[in-house]
A and B are shown apart, each in its own frame.
Chain A
Amino acid sequence: MNLPADTRQYTMTPMERVLTAMDHKEPDRVPFFLLLTTHGAREMKMSIRDYFSNGETVAEAQLRMQAKYRHDCLFAFFHAPMEIAAWGGDIVYFDNGPPNSGKPFIDKPAIQIPRLKPPDIDSAAGLLEVLKTTRILTEKAAGDIPVMGVVISPFSLPVMQMGFSAYIELLCREPSLFWELMEINEAFCVDWANAQIAEGATAICYFDPVASPTIIPRSLYLETGHIVASRTISRINGPTATHLASGATLQVADDIAQTGTGGIGVSAAEDLGALKRTCKGRLTVIGNLNGLEMVRWSREDALSAVRNAIAEAASGGGFILADNHGDIPWQVPETVLSAVSEAVHRHGSYPIQR
C-alpha cells in the first residue's frame, strides 16, 4: 500500500537523522530545525519577559513545540542579550519581539577594555537558567533529539558590548585594543560554550554575524574574526555550526570551513544551490527559508519554499532545512510553522524526488 509521504513512519530518530546529514550522507528524510525562541512564550501563554525568566518554562515550551511540529532539534537558546546581562549590561524587553541589549556598557574603550574581566558563569543568573533548560532538554531527549546550545562569537559580541558604530571604529582603527578585547571575549565564549556542552548540549551554534561580507570585507575578516573563530572553536568541547544571522556567506564559506566548524547558517538572499556546491562534504548547509516573508506565507507558499530549498540543497545530505536568521520572528503564525512541517514530511523523504 502506498501511504502518503507525510504519514510514513520514518525510521530514524531526529538525532540519527541530523548526525547522518552532518556526515554528508542521506538520512531517511531531510532534517529540519524550527529555531523558535519567542514562540515559546505564546505556547506557554506568557509575556516574553516572564517566559525567559525561568529555564523550566523554556524547556517545557521547547518540548511541546518539538512534539507539535515534529522537527529535529530542541533549541536551548533564549536571546542574545542574555550574555550581555552576564557582563553587567541591560536587557530591554518587548511585547512582540526578541529582547535587545540596552545601552552599551563600553563607552570608553581605551579605559574600560584593559580592566574588563570575563564574567563568571556561576554568578550569572540568566545563564544559569539557560543551563537549566539545557539540562532538562537533555534528560527529556534521552539522546534521541539534538539539543542546540548557542554562543555569540567573541568577534560579534562587541556589537552589544559597545555599539555597532564604536565597534567598527575599534576594529578598523584600534587593532591593539581590539585584540585585547578578543582575548577577554574568547575566554568567556569558551567557558560559556563548554558549560552548555557539560549540561548535555549536542552542539553549539556559533553566532558570528560580523563575519559576514555583508558587514565587513573578507580581507578584514581573515585578519581578525577568522583568527578568533579558529582559536575559539578549537577550544569548544563539542561540535559547532557557525551562523551569520542573515548575512551573506558565500564569499567566506571556504574560510569558515577552515575554522573547524561543521555547519553554516546561510542567508535567504543567497543561491542555496551554489552554497551547497561550495560547502559539499565540508560544511552542512543550514537554511535558508526567509523568516521575514514567513509572516505572510500561505500554506501553498510554505510548501513551495520548502520544496524549492530541498530541490536545491538536500541531495547527498549535508543539509538541514531551517530559517535564514537562526530565530523565527514572533510574528510568524503557527499555521505557517505547521505548513513547513507538513511540507518537509510530505516532500523531504530521501531519495529526493525531483
Chain B
Amino acid sequence: MTQRPTEESGLKPSVSDAFRDALVSSDEEEARKILSRFTERHTPLEFVETVIIPALDSIGNGWANQEYALSQVYISGRICEELAESVLAKSTGFQRPGPKMAVVLLNDYHALGKQIVYSVLRGAGYDILDYGRMETDELVRRVVEDRLELLFISVLMLASAMEVKAVIDRLRSEQCNTRVAVGGAPFRLDERLWKEVGADAAGKSAADALSIVQMATEGRLS
C-alpha cells in the first residue's frame, strides 16, 4: 500500500521544491534520484501529480515574475517530459484526462515557445500533438481533420499574432468550435491583443498552459 503524500506530512512541498530546484539547476541526475526515491513508496501517477506539476507550475510562474529565465523553463520541461514518459510507460493504462489538443508555431520561425508548451504538457502527463510550424490553410485543415478540442498557437512576430484572427475566423466558418489559446511575446507585451484576435485564452508562461488545459477539461474555456 502506498503512502499518499499530504500537506500534513510535509512530503509534498519538500519533494516538489527539491525537484523544482533540481530542474532549474538543469540537474537531471538529481531529478532522477528524487523520482527514484519517491516511487519507492508512491505511484508514478502521484509523482506526476504531486511533484512534477507543482514544480512546473512554480517554474512557469517564476518566469512570469522574473525569478527564473526562459532557458530554465525550457530545460525543466525537457527533463520532465523525459521523466514522465519513462515513469508513465511503466504505469499501465494511465492516460491523464484532458482535451484532444495540439500545439503549433504559426507562420514565423521561432519555435522555442511551442517546444516549451509541448514539453511542459507532456511532462505533466498530457497527450498533445506537435504540429510543428504551419501556415493558416494547412493548420485549419489539420485542426478540422483531427477534431481538436484545444489548440495552442505560439508566435513571436506581431504579423503572426495578427494572423491568429484569420485562423479563428476560418475555423468558425468551418463550424469548428476548437478552443484557441495563444502565447508569445506579442501577447505578453500587448495585453489586449489576444482578445482582439478572437482567442479564447492567452498564456504568459508555461504554468498558464497547465491551467488552460485544466480549464478546457472542466469546460470553462469559452
Q: Say yes or no: B157 contacts A100, CB within 8 Å.
A: yes
Q: Say yes or no: B70 contacts A293, CB within 8 Å.
A: no
Q: Which of B69, B108, B110 makes the CB contact (< 8 A) with A217? A: B69
Task: Tell me whether A164 is interfacial, beta carbon within 8 Å.
Answer: yes
Residues in A neighbouring B70, C-beta threshold 8 A: 214-216
Residues in A neighbouring B157, C-beta threshold 8 A: 94, 97-98, 100
Report the contact-size class of chain B (Cβ under 8 Å from the partner): 20 to 34
Please give me the residue from chain B that is nearest to A293 by CB atom: B190
Shortest Cβ gap from B82 to chain A (Å) = 13
- Cα(A98)–Cα(B157), bound, Å: 8
Q: Say yes or no: A330 contacts B115, CB within 8 Å.
A: no
Q: Say yes or no: A330 contacts B71, CB within 8 Å.
A: no
Please give me the residue from chain B that is nearest to A221 by CB atom: B69
Give the interface centre of A92, A165, A246, A296 by most chain B CB atoms within 10 Å. A165
- Cα(A92)–Cα(B107), bound, Å: 11
Task: Tell me whether B68 is interfacial, beta carbon within 8 Å.
Answer: yes
Task: Tell me whether B58 is interfacial, beta carbon within 8 Å.
Answer: no
Shortest Cβ gap from B174 to chain A (Å) = 24
Q: Say yes or no: B158 contacts A246, CB within 8 Å.
A: no
A-B contact count, CB below 8 Å? 80
Contact flags B52-86 to A (C-beta < 8 A → 1, else 0): 00000000000000101111101100000000000
Q: Say yes or no: B75 contacts A168, CB within 8 Å.
A: yes
- Cα(A164)–Cα(B185), bound, Å: 15
Q: Say yes or no: A101 contacts B109, CB within 8 Å.
A: yes
Residues in B neighbouring A163, C-beta threshold 8 A: 111
Please give me the residue from chain B that is nearest to A92 by CB atom: B109
Shortest Cβ gap from B86 to chain A (Å) = 19
Contact flags A283-300 to B (C-beta < 8 A → 1, else 0): 000000010110110000
Give the number of residues in A that approach B within 8 Å (Cβ atoms): 36
- Cα(A213)–Cα(B72), bound, Å: 11
Please give me the residue from chain A that is nearest to B26 by CB atom: A172
In the complex with contacts A164-B112, A215-B71, A216-B71, A331-B190 CB distance below 8 A: no
In the complex with contacts A173-B26, A214-B66, A290-B190, A97-B71 CB distance below 8 A: no
Contact flags A312-341 to B (C-beta < 8 A → 1, else 0): 000000000000100001110000000000
Task: Tell me whether B18 is interfacial, beta carbon within 8 Å.
Answer: no
Task: Tell me whether B123 is interfacial, beta carbon within 8 Å.
Answer: no
Task: Tell me whether B89 is interfacial, beta carbon within 8 Å.
Answer: no
Q: Say yes or no: B162 contacts A331, CB within 8 Å.
A: yes
Chain A stretch 114-135: residues in CB contact (< 8 A) with chain B: none
Known: A101-B109, A172-B26. 18 other contacts (CB 8 A): A97-B158, A98-B157, A100-B108, A163-B111, A164-B111, A168-B75, A172-B71, A173-B26, A213-B66, A213-B69, A215-B70, A216-B70, A216-B71, A246-B189, A290-B190, A292-B193, A296-B192, A329-B159
